[in-house]
Amino acid sequence: MTYRGGHLPRNCSNIAASIARGAAVAEIGMGYGSECHLLRYLGRHRMLLEKRILETTGAEVASWLDYPFDRSRTWLDGELKGLEFLPPGDPIHDVWKEVWPQRGNPPNWDAVAQIKANGLTEWLLVEAKANTQELRSSCQASPSGGLPLIRATLSRTKVALGVAADRDWLNGYYQYCNRLAVLEFLNRHNVPARLLFVYFTGDKGDAARICPADAAAWHSELLRQNVHVGLAANHPLADRIHRLFLSVSGES
């Protein structure tokens, strides 16, 4: 199988504001939020961002995919969802339809890149966070809709990664868990891929958003996530999940 391309950022940020106004899809924060800062780094600090990404992943080069336009959005940009970063004719799309609902809100990405590591071309799927509330999510799929298929796929992923069956992957940290499911699915079907979680520090916090000031402040929240999810440090995809801490102001 041949692997291709990488991508640019998705629309996420300010979950609290979007919930407050009942928005179905979050819009980019003006000067705050994970998507805003990721766009800043991709657009204005690309060399620094890529340097840190290459150091973190051990890759040699990264190339980013553009995202689609969407005139219905405030910022006129759409999102790359599910496996849309793969070529339309790739047969893996049909396999994916068997394990994940094609309606509703599939996993979507803040950025996607194609990287080269150890002479191999791989996908880098990027998820960015700027406040601790962004870590939390629960599955909203309907029992009469996509929930049974999602539950079955998450259960298979837990088995593949050595996670106890009773760990709740539908509530609390669902977004993180469905990203793990995508990663396991791709690598199991010989599509080399990695996850990169970018945690921004020093963002603008308020009563609705707790923004860690440094990497140490993120660690307790991420430890809480790990305990809930039940993923062992030496799980089979441990070398394919990376963390990168970036200051919104560029400080070391």
Instruction: Give yes or no for a contact between 171 and 177, defined as CB atoms under 8 angstroms apart.
Output: no
pLDDT tens by residue, 25-34: 456 666 789 9
Does position 7 have pLDDT exceeding 80, yes or no? no
pLDDT tens by residue, 210-243: 999 999 999 999 999 999 999 999 999 999 999 9
> Would you state the pLDDT for residue 168?
98
Residue 172: C-alpha distances to residues 29, 218, 230 (Å): 24, 17, 12
> Would you state the pLDDT for residue 6?
37
- Which pTM value belongs to this model? 0.87
What is the rounded CA–CA span in Å between residue 209 and residue 134? 9
Residue among 49, 65, 50 at smallest CA distance from 7 = 65
- Element (DSSP H or E) covering residue 152: helix 147-160
